[in-house]
Amino acid sequence: MKTRFFKKCISIVLAVALLCLVPNSDVLAADRAYPHDDNLVIVIDPGHGGNETGTQGGRIQERFMNLITAQALVERLNLYEGVTVYMTRFDNDTTMSLTDRAKFAETVDADFVFSVHYNACYAHDRFGIEVYTSRVAPYNAYGYQFGNLLMQRYESEFGIFPRGVKTRKGLRTEGDYYTIISANVYREIPAVIIEHCFADGPIDAVFTQTGDQLRNYGYADADAIAEFFGLKSSILGLDYTGYSTNLIEVDVNGFNDATYEDRTSPDSVNVSVVNLDPSSNTVTVRVEATEADGMMMFYALSTDGGWTWEESQVWPGADTYTGTFDSSFELTLSFNSGDRPDIVVKAFNRYDAYTKSNQITFIDRFNSTDKPLYREA
Ligand SMILES: [Zn+2]
């Protein structure tokens, strides 16, 4: 019995090994968007530094976190062949303007700039990785294809939620809001901002507790960069020169719709009771939303009429790679005898703009026997 199982294992291993030997050019999922020669020059930009601390919401200031990750990134990317890697800053005391970083990239004839950051927000309630790319073709496509590769890696390796590849419009221009992107694009150098995860929120805090974690993100970034450009490393035993089924299709000459900046809140959000079980004091509600110009991504629940909110959750079916989400889902909520809940939901789109639902107001208290009266206003 044991030997037969063992033989089966061996044949599976052989089958997998044979699959790996199949010439791979014809199984390319999508073409590599970024054309480059054998002399690839990459600039890694650890965000902030010196007087610019970055977010202070994490265990350490963001400028320190960025440098730790960036150093690990550079160390690993240097193990790949056919690539020259530069950094914009090497210590935490250097204050460097964003334009100077782009000028530096120009002087070394950079092919691509990757700016390394960690995120934070005022409400400390967000989580996940996001990548900012340019609004301008073809830079938009490069960042979109890279960002999707990176997010897939973060989701599978670390369990960090993929928030999407995004753009942000400049205040007075049709160009980009973030100077590290616009100043590089002005010099015809593609640039992206990697916001690895949120340093300040309760959900992502577990991902930024140790230096090893911050270094591991640098290694993952390096491997994603290598996969994006099709590099190989004999030292690491990694070869991305052939196909990558993880590459997403992009329109190099146009604007990739998935990166569209949605500046309005979701169109409509509604909650309604679908089932009420008085014996177990449970109520099942249906949450529905419409969002024509974007996608739903998170929701938060309140059972006290919006005075307090539970931790944000991923909207069921939200898939940043396809832009799809479930138009409705059901939640079953349990209460105690004596509770009189007021149920309301905050529904967030991919750009964190939210719409509050109507409220389900219970007129009676749950009492384990009678159906409590409620109204849906
Ligand atoms: Zn930052």
Evaluate whether 90 touches 153 at the Cβ level (below 8 Å): no
Per-residue confidence band for 60, with pLDDT thresholds at 50, 70 and 90: very high
Centre of ligand 1 to C-alpha 11, Å, is 49
DSSP characters for 83-103? EEEEES-SSSS----HHHHHH
Per the prediction, the chain carries an average pLDDT of 92
Centre of ligand 1 to C-alpha 271, Å, is 37
Evaluate whether 200 touches 128 at the Cβ level (below 8 Å): no
pLDDT of 243 reads 77
Centre of ligand 1 to C-alpha 240, Å, is 30
- Radius of gyration in angstroms for the set of CA atoms belonging to the chain, rounded to a whole number: 24
**Is the torsion defined by CA of 140, 143, 148, 149 positive or negative?**
positive
Ion ligand 1 nearby residues (CB, 5 A): 47, 54, 117
What would the mean pLDDT of 37-63 be, rounded to a whole number?
93
- pLDDT above 70: residue 10: no
**Is the torsion defined by CA of 236, 237, 239, 244 positive or negative?**
negative
Centre of ligand 1 to C-alpha 53, Å, is 8
pLDDT of 36 reads 77
Per-residue confidence band for 282, with pLDDT thresholds at 50, 70 and 90: very high
Centre of ligand 1 to C-alpha 347, Å, is 26
Beta bridge partners of 113: 43, 191
Tell me the pTM.
0.90
pLDDT of 29 reads 64
Q: Which CATH class is domain 26-259?
A: alpha beta
Centre of ligand 1 to C-alpha 293, Å, is 28
Centre of ligand 1 to C-alpha 119, Å, is 6
- Provide CATH 2.60.40.10 ranges for the chain: 268-376
What tens digit of pLDDT does each residue of 175-190 get?
999 999 999 999 999 9
- Provide CATH 3.40.630.40 ranges for the chain: 26-259
274 vs 174, residue with greater confidence: 274
Centre of ligand 1 to C-alpha 164, Å, is 17
What would the mean pLDDT of 68-87 be, rounded to a whole number?
98
What would the mean pLDDT of 262-285 be, rounded to a whole number?
97
Considering the domain delimited by 268-376, tell me its CATH architecture: Sandwich (2.60)
Centre of ligand 1 to C-alpha 115, Å, is 9
- pLDDT above 80: residue 171: yes
Q: How far is residue 148 from each of residues 111, 339, 347, measured CA to CA in Å?
A: 19, 45, 24
